[in-house]
Structure 1
């Protein structure tokens, strides 16, 4: 037979997935093929690569479309330049993880904005509280210098010292609050609440008598100096407003220790029970802070309670005020085996 035998490569289309790499393999045959088979092989090769390119483009488009809300959130967060421009991000209409992420971001922004507002208000209130004694001090000295021969200088010196003491107390309270917010609590250890109450009340000089009722072995874990600060603040508050008596009780309520300080003063209206724990807050009637107070005592006391894993709140009382400190017990006992000495109803 005349003619020439031509050896060509017939492509066997296939894709081997090995180590994540697509491998094209060729099978070589030794029989003559026609032009149609060659064209078919070329078409299969070109079709494969065209399909691969199409799949890559579709995947890229789908990923880009899915991440478009994330890029939008990134751009919107980038527009937040300071605390006065805390905008919320757009929540996609889809019900997927991206929408959940947007909602979480907005919740975080809400908290940040509230924190910034509280800090701004606190700074304004602190500056006002410091400005008041400074103004009084300056006025007293200026009047004395204008009429030095008529001024009672010993009395002026006492007034100046009183104003200086007030400023010093405000600054000390501000530093305490800053440490509590930073988580600086100090050395913690086991504390017998009953023993702490008896020791601290014994060294105080009260305007009215204090009745003490404590259970034995009410143990909590805490920083002693801070818990003394809470007790002192509660006793100071009661002493300012009590008419004839103050009552201090220590006991347990299930898995918690309770320290209650009550008085027979004008009491705290239910609608004011949260406001008394705000910084620099004073009630409009009855229970006003004395002139030497800083307005931070109860706010600091609640922060200390929270730092110890507890709470401080105003309990119900038929007359006067009842403030209750609740702290976790060391070695929690069976709730059914203890009876609380105070009502914790809020």
Structure 2
């Protein structure tokens, strides 16, 4: 899994922006505080200067007047600089503390958070957003670790079976059941290939790769896919013609394959597939009469390597990734995939946006 998906981007703002002029912003408060800090010393300096000029007004000592005025100006300027620096330092103190907290987080546990000052300004909001981003990064890191652990476990299971079969074949090379052992080993290899292939598909989907799309007839694609299969139970298809979607053929076919494979594993006596058009949407439903999906597990069944105790096992041939891939492909196409209500068994519903009318076809009509 990858992190893409997206924290809040903080953009630099130029002078005169809304933040610069906002009454509650830190930058807008720096100037009033600086003036408040320097106003009393400057006022005192002005009073002293006025008194000195009044006393020396009738005295022809221009050099003394200039010297006194220069000293007073120097003192006033120094006090002003000191006051402004103090006010700016006070205003930027929370930013420096936030920077120090972020520096301490480098390479540390993502469970740590930065301190949020109760200043009611941009610094407080920025610290809050940083903590939200850290929370998302922590959750994604935990999900990635769990995914890697699950994938390792899933791969290790067929590898262990393959190793055992090869060891048996080597231990008894003249065994009459050698062919059956090799067939079992080939089944383990096929399962490994399926898991690795599903992992590659998920990696491409997680990367945000956008595959090229074509205008497809969903009903025709469903009928073509069902003709390729040889399910162990009867499979019926009811597809409306002309249900068009903009989709990648290979990925949409994979969604249908995963949905049909799921139904074939759990169906008791029949599988039903229906394709129809609804306002703005193309709908494909795959129904079976198997044990079904409990309402509490209808979202969990689409998680990666999720298995329901009553209906799924590693021995049924599934990788635990089929429905997760199908939902992610549906979302990438602007659609959705969910488990709906059913009187019996499971009912998986795929909804995709209908393709907009082709201007060429409208002109021809």
Q: Which residue of 1 aligns with 2:12?
A: none
Does 2:294 correspond to 1:269? yes
Instruction: Assess, with a 3 A threshold, how the Cα gap between structure 1 residues 318 and 51 changes in structure 2: closer, same or farther.
Output: farther
The Cα of 1:221 is off from its aligned counterpart by: 1.4
Give the secondary-structure state (helix, strand or coil) at the position aligned to 1:313: strand
Does 2:318 correspond to 1:296? no
The Cα of 1:33 is off from its aligned counterpart by: 6.7
Does 2:338 correspond to 1:307? no
Q: Which residue of 2 aligns with 1:3?
A: none
Instruction: Assess, with a 3 A threshold, how the Cα gap between structure 1 residues 59 and 260 changes in structure 2: closer, same or farther.
Output: farther
When Rg is computed on C-alpha atoms for both structures, the one with the higher figure is: 1
Asked if structure 2 preserves the Cα contact closer than 8 Å seen for 1:242 and 1:265, the reply is yes
Which of 178, 186, 192 does residue 217 from structure 2 map onto? 192
Which of 141, 146, 150 does residue 125 from structure 1 map onto? 150
Give the secondary-structure state (helix, strand or coil) at the position aligned to 2:85: helix
Instruction: Assess, with a 3 A threshold, how the Cα gap between structure 1 residues 256 and 72 changes in structure 2: closer, same or farther.
Output: farther
Cα distance in structure 1, aligned partners of 2:220 and 2:211:
20
Give the secondary-structure state (helix, strand or coil) at the position aligned to 2:316: coil
Instruction: Assess, with a 3 A threshold, how the Cα gap between structure 1 residues 33 and 256 changes in structure 2: closer, same or farther.
Output: farther
Q: Deviations over 1:254-304 (max 9, x none)?
A: 322222111111110011111111111110113446532111100111111
Q: Deviations over 1:95-127 (max 9, x none)?
A: 111111111111111111111111111111111
Cα distance in structure 2, aligned partners of 1:165 and 1:40:
100
Asked if structure 2 preserves the Cα contact closer than 8 Å seen for 1:258 and 1:326, the reply is yes
Cα distance in structure 2, aligned partners of 1:287 and 1:317:
19
Does 2:234 correspond to 1:205? no
Instruction: Assess, with a 3 A threshold, how the Cα gap between structure 1 residues 258 and 235 changes in structure 2: closer, same or farther.
Output: same
How many pairs were matched up? 301
For the aligned residue pairs, the C-alpha RMSD in angstroms reads 2.2
Does 2:68 correspond to 1:57? no
Does 2:182 correspond to 1:157? yes
Asked if structure 1 preserves the Cα contact closer than 8 Å seen for 2:110 and 2:137, the reply is no
Asked if structure 2 preserves the Cα contact closer than 8 Å seen for 1:233 and 1:298, the reply is yes
Moved more, 156-165 or 251-260: 251-260
The Cα of 1:235 is off from its aligned counterpart by: 0.7
Q: Which residue of 2 aligns with 1:319?
A: 344
Cα distance in structure 2, aligned partners of 1:200 and 1:245:
17
Instruction: Assess, with a 3 A threshold, how the Cα gap between structure 1 residues 62 and 258 changes in structure 2: closer, same or farther.
Output: farther
Asked if structure 2 preserves the Cα contact closer than 8 Å seen for 1:83 and 1:113, the reply is no
Does 2:137 correspond to 1:112? yes
TM-score relative to the length of structure 2: 0.76
Structure 2: where are the runs of 5+ without partners? 1-56, 358-365
Structure 1: where are the runs of 5+ without partners? 1-31, 333-346
Moved more, 120-129 or 50-59: 50-59
Listed as ranges, the matches of 1:1-346 within 5 Å are 34-35=59-60, 38-82=63-107, 84-150=109-175, 152-288=177-313, 290-331=315-356
Cα distance in structure 2, aligned partners of 1:54 and 1:251:
80
Structure with more of its chain in helix, by fraction: 2
Cα distance in structure 1, aligned partners of 2:275 and 2:79:
76
4+ runs deviating over 6 angstroms: none
